[in-house]
Structure 1
Amino acid sequence: MSISNSIRAQIPPIHPEGYPFIGGFALVSLILFWIWTPLGWIGTVLTIWCALFFRDPIRVTPQRDGLVVAPADGRISMISQALPPAELGLGDRPLLRISIFMSVFNVHVNRSPVTGRIERIAYRPGVFINAELDKASEDNERNSLAISTPHGRVGVVQIAGLIARRIVSFVREGQNVGTGERFGLIRFGSRVDVYLPEGSVALVSEGQTSLAGETILADFRQSDPGLTFRSI
């Protein structure tokens, strides 16, 4: 392998959603160079950061019925029993909720935590407070998915944060998704909540770092060890 190919292999691909933003940052950087060179270098650094924000690396996802994987990169900020958003129709009883907070330095492409059929997608506008706060689940802009699986219905909620201003969805109601497949992204800092059926047990802990499509959050069939993996 040539040196150029080796370097290229180390650079993660960029999601197409990021191209307009990266182009905008690059254009501003050129203007800043014309105004004053030091400002241009600041713009260049910000352009590189923008490109890194929209990176979309390949992930090796464990494949087996019953597995629940992380939908987002970031820090597991909360594990609790909480009422799911009413618009998902998951009932009026508290369910196990695992919350993952994404900083502006994390990968922001979100992946399906389970294999199943998307029964419902519900978007709700809202405010933009710190996504780490518990009240963000109720007050912030959010996009919620209910995914039907043989083990019960799983809720996935994308929550916009203090800086985030746009939730992007790649899927539609009635669509089948596989574990680890991309279903959306949130721009510039946010949170994703996963609501699991009654009786589910978390296999992660608060403060742990998760990788979307790779970290196993729960296992509906903990007695079955047969796992396979695929790159997505």
Structure 2
Amino acid sequence: MAIAREGWPVIGTAAGVLGLVGAVGTLAGHPASLVPLVLAVGFCLYFFRDPERRAPPGERLVVSPADGRVVAVVEERDERVLGAPATRVSIFMSPLDVHVNRNPVSGTVALVRHSAGRFRAAFADKASLDNARTAVVLESGGRRYLLVQIAGALARRIVCRLRPGDRVQRGERFGMIMFGSRVDLFLPVGVAPVVRRGDRVRAGTSVVAEERS
């Protein structure tokens, strides 16, 4: 099983603590003290899993940037970055979902903007306005897509490897958010969502929208 590279420091720290506590517990005659730490290391390995994915064929298809559950599909005008009407597709990632994020379309990175903020529950509507987040604008086929990685109540670190000017491919990894979070994808006019609230999606493979014009 592949592990996301951001996970190895966390896993290494957990394993080090496991070894230390295990040695002390065994010497003290309490080997059962290892059980919760073994479970913690196992959870870290599971959380940071990074399965191989292949995007479906079709240049007009937009794939999900995250694993999880669709919590909103709404039309709104984004004034902070795009300054244009768009359809927002919000995907909530629970701690049990794969947290590696992937590019929804092929194109060029036009903007990467990090914003400090709060750490509300990621599924709440206000999270997109108040929480710490990273916004990425992708230019593809004359359209501008906005991706927003949003930190949640448990997530305290957003990883985004993209830089302005980067060329990206649909379905490629571009970052992750640690321990429960959300990704908003803003679709430009002419791109129609094909998912609805409550749907389960997988990053890089599930089609969430399609270019119609």
Shorter chain as denominator, the TM-score bin is over 0.9
Q: Which runs of 5+ in 1 are unaligned?
A: 1-11, 223-232
User: Would the aligned equivalents of 1:84 and 1:155 in 2 still touch at CA under 8 Å?
Assistant: no
Identity of aligned residues (%): 41
SS for the counterpart of 2:55 is: strand
SS in 2 for 1:83: strand
2:174 partner SS: strand
Q: Report the alpha carbon displacement of residue 30 of structure 1 after superposing the two structures with TM.
A: 1.9
Question: Within the alignment, does 1:41 sit opposite 2:30 as a pair?
Answer: no
CA-CA distance at 1:38 after TM superposition? 2.1
TM-score, normalization by structure 1: 0.86
* Equivalent of residue 71 in structure 1, options 53, 65, 80: 65
Change (3 A) 1:139 1:58: same
Please state whether the residue corresponding to 2:91 is helix, strand or coil. strand
Structure-2 residue corresponding to 1:108: 99
Q: Secondary structure at 1:204's aligned position in 2?
A: coil
Say if 2:194 is the partner of 1:203.
yes
Match in the other structure for 1:169: 160
Q: Deviations over 1:20-74 (max 9, x none)?
A: 1001111112233223322211101110110111111001211322211000000
Q: Is the 8 A contact 2:190 2:211 kept in 1?
A: no
Helix, strand or coil: the match of 2:78?
coil
Aligned mates of 1:84, 1:102 — CA distance in 2: 22
Check whether the contact 1:67–1:218 (CA below 8 A) recurs between aligned residues: yes
Distance 1:211 1:160, change over 3 A: same
Whole-angstrom CA distance in 2 between matches of 1:27 and 1:117: 41
RMSD over aligned Cα, in angstroms?
A: 1.4
Q: Output the amino acid matched with 2:149.
A: Q
Would the aligned equivalents of 1:143 and 1:158 in 2 still touch at CA under 8 Å?
A: yes
Per-residue deviation at 1:199? 3.6
The two structures have a TM-score, normalised by structure 2, of 0.93
For residues 127 and 208 of structure 1, the distance between their equivalents in structure 2, rounded to whole angstroms, comes to: 27
Residues paired across the two proteins, number: 208
